Structure 1
Amino acid sequence: MAVLPLVVAPDPRLKKKALPVERVDDTIRKQMDDMVETMYAENGMGLAAPQVGISNRVIVMDIARKDEDPVIFKMANPEIIWESPEIKSYEEGCLSVPEHYAEVKRPASVKIRFIDYENEIREIEADGVLAVCVQHEIDHLNGVLFIDHLSSLKRGIIARKLLKAKKAMAEPANA
């Protein structure tokens, strides 16, 4: 397994819609495993392929708390096939939007259809943290960041800070 480099906003790759996976084969399984390794190395609870520069519809998640055994999900082509009318607000952060957090409103529970690690079609119902995480990661596959759910004022403030940080990183150390 390998730790993959993260794509950080603002980066146009994060705004593109990812392409479907035809089937989960050894190449996609390796990608999933590398993404899990990357997610853990970056202390995340979810990761979508576009966040590591791969434009396909693959996500991984582990919603377990640090003191619990892992609860790992590896999904290809996840899609929301039902969402509850109840809306909940959760504070979200993102590995591609480092050091920024905000309250985001999403459906409280969802039903997801996806292709699993063994290339089988599965469906799960999710609520709580899993529902938030899977919706957040599916957003990435559609070119949507959590900050896109915020007011234009809040989104603009975070976007300017991200651009400033990216420019500072690009400048030579002795400039």
Structure 2
Amino acid sequence: MTSVITVEKEKLDNPPLDIHVLGDRVLRQPAKRIAKVDDSVRQLAKEMLQTMYSSHGIGLAAPQVAIHKQLIVIDCEPDNPANPPLILINPKITRVSQELCVVEEGCLSIPGVYLDVTRPKTIEVSFKDEQGKPRKIQATDLLARVIQHEMDHLNGVMFVDRVDNDLALTEKLQEKGFSRGAVKPIK
């Protein structure tokens, strides 16, 4: 599965898009399905990749750049030029494993905050690629986690909403200057 969208995996001084941070209302609005995959969607994906690489991220969802479309870009190997990024349009998780795992997560929209989150270890996801072709992949470990994390953004959910350790959550957010009130716990 090779991407038709190619961008240099480098940090730009002026990335094309601004990443919004925890507390900004745009992050809480659900994204809309993309009706037609066209050049404007591919251009958005390209700019999202440039912005993600510029911020040393491995995943970025359109709502993080204040665009309410179901578009996610992912690259679990940003230092490997041979590894193409993954572009998921209108992604839908079709299966999740019973096996859960707890791993520390961070988010470009909550810089400097890293906390443990429990998620299914393996998922199956269907989506359209940047050519508009239907795809289905099985993802495990880091890729599964990044897809789930970014898909949460499409529903207005932030990873801190899923953190079980309330004390660590409050401490980390305060330490980095974020409001505990911006968290909307999912139980």
TM-score class normalised by the smaller sequence = 0.7 to 0.9
1:99 aligns with 2:89: no
Instruction: Tell me the residue number matched to 2:70.
Output: 57
Instruction: Tell me the residue number matched to 1:143.
Output: 156
Maintained 8 Å contact 1:47/1:137: yes
Shift in Å, 1:158: 4.3
When residues 23 and 158 of structure 1 are mapped into structure 2, their CA distance, relative to the original with a 3 A threshold, is farther
**Which aligned pairs between 1:1-175 and structure 2 lie closer than 5 A?**
3-64=16-77, 66-67=79-80, 69-151=82-164, 152-160=166-174, 161-163=177-179
Give the aligned length: 164
Q: Deviations over 1:33-71 (max 9, x none)?
A: 110010001110000001101011100000115256333
Partner amino acid for 2:178? L
Maintained 8 Å contact 1:148/1:155: no
Partner amino acid for 1:23? K
Maintained 8 Å contact 1:10/1:159: no
Shift in Å, 1:15: 1.1
Partner amino acid for 1:28? V
Maintained 8 Å contact 1:112/1:125: yes
* Structure 2: 5+ residue stretches without partners: 1-6, 8-14, 181-187
Distance in 1 separating the partners of 2:142 and 2:163: 19
Give 3-state SS (helix, strand or coil) of 1:36's partner: helix
- TM-score (ref. length: structure 2): 0.82
Instruction: Tell me the residue number matched to 1:172.
Output: none
Maintained 8 Å contact 1:82/1:111: yes
More helix by share: 1
- TM-score (ref. length: structure 1): 0.87
* Structure 1: 5+ residue stretches without partners: 165-175
Percent identical pairs in the alignment equals 37
Query: How large is the RMSD of aligned CA atoms in angstroms?
Result: 1.8
Distance in 1 separating the partners of 2:29 and 2:168: 22
Instruction: Tell me the residue number matched to 1:170.
Output: none
Maintained 8 Å contact 1:59/1:75: yes
